[in-house]
Structure 1
Amino acid sequence: MPDIMENRDVNTDYTGGYVPTDRKKNNGLDMDGFLKILAASMANPSFDGSDGGGSGGTDYITQMVTFATLEQLQEIGGDLEYTMMMTHQQQAIGLIGKTVSVMVDKDNTVEGVVEQVKFKGGIATIVIDGKDYLMAQVSAIGEVKKEETEEPATPETPENPEVPTP
């Protein structure tokens, strides 16, 4: 039986949607690192005899609370980014079968029915007439009405007895 890994033509870059990654990026200091620095600062006062560089005990607590708040805000930001991506994907899926207009460049638009939605790295693209377009290119949803060239209907006159004359 052939080994699956022998097939080298498989595209392994495609994720098929959003794949959550470890959101705790190494952006510097984490809570454990902060506490180690805080403990070292408290254990080793400054050379001039002050209690750790002139900071009081409440300053350390304030710094820790500020650091914890920042850490939580970063986590909320990651959650918000994930939610936005999922919303974007759902909007794209909702366009399947609908007529849309997309801006190809500043002077050209393409109108057609969304045939399918593709995802690469969590980013949704729509397919119209076999060509891929980004969701950001969508300029209108639904058929674009052409300007009517018919003359407006004339109001009822004495020849048309349905409207009373003054």
Structure 2
Amino acid sequence: MYVSTYASQNTSSSSTSTATSGSMVDYQSFLKLLVAEMKNQDPTSPMESTDYVAQLATFSQVEQSVQMNTKLDNILQASVLSQAGSLIGKTVTSADGSMTGTVKEVKLYSDGIIAVLDNGKEVPMLPGVKIS
């Protein structure tokens, strides 16, 4: 699971929105493409109006899917932050049983969550970690 840090989350979300807006085709671009398609079509065999409507419907579905994926990513990041915060004050035992302690703070990295114990040791939150 990909988990970004809070600081890089803000950075990546602004760069993601910039990249998305740069690569996402908006309705103006679609209309320009449609007009260019109409100008350059074969006059002896023009496209049917139903073909244009089908293209518009497909474009709308793709745009909605992109927006839904963005919103789901935001929900996932909020969920991870909430879960990480709920670890504070809990007793954690590492997967191999070598470290045990109370979670003092939680660090979020791009490759996962690390719990910092009250004794200063860090436990990566991997499968097999016991939380009580």
TM-score (norm 2): 0.72
More helix by share: 2
Alpha-carbon separation, structure 2, partners of 1:16 and 1:45: 50
Q: How many residues align?
A: 120
Equivalent residue number for residue 96 of structure 1: 88
Distance 1:137 1:112, change over 3 A: farther
In structure 2, what is the equivalent of residue 32 of structure 1? 28
1:16-165 residue pairs with structure 2 within 5 A?
16=7, 18-19=9-10, 20-21=13-14, 22-23=16-17, 25=20, 26-27=22-23, 29-46=25-42, 49-51=44-46, 55-103=47-95, 108-109=96-97, 110-119=99-108, 124-128=113-117, 129-137=119-127, 139-142=129-132
**Rg comparison, structure with higher value:** 1
The answer for the alignment partner of 1:4 in structure 2 is: none
Question: For the residues of structure 2 that align with 1:30 and 1:136, how far apart are their CA atoms?
Answer: 41
Q: Which runs of 5+ in 2 are unaligned?
A: none
- CA distance 1:63–1:136, change in 2 (3 Å): farther
> Normalising by structure 1, what TM-score?
0.59
The percentage of aligned residue pairs carrying the same residue is 29
Q: Which residue of 2 aligns with 1:159?
A: none
| Unpaired stretches in structure 1, ≥5 consecutive residues | 1-13, 143-166
Partners in 2 of 1:102 and 1:77 — Cα distance? 34
Change (3 A) 1:28 1:86: closer
Q: Whose RCO is larger (CA < 8 A, sep 6+)?
A: 2
CA-atom RMSD in angstroms: 2.7
Task: Name the CA distance, whole Å, in 2 between partners of 1:79 and 1:136.
Answer: 26
- Check the 8 A contact 1:16/1:119 in 2, yes or no: no
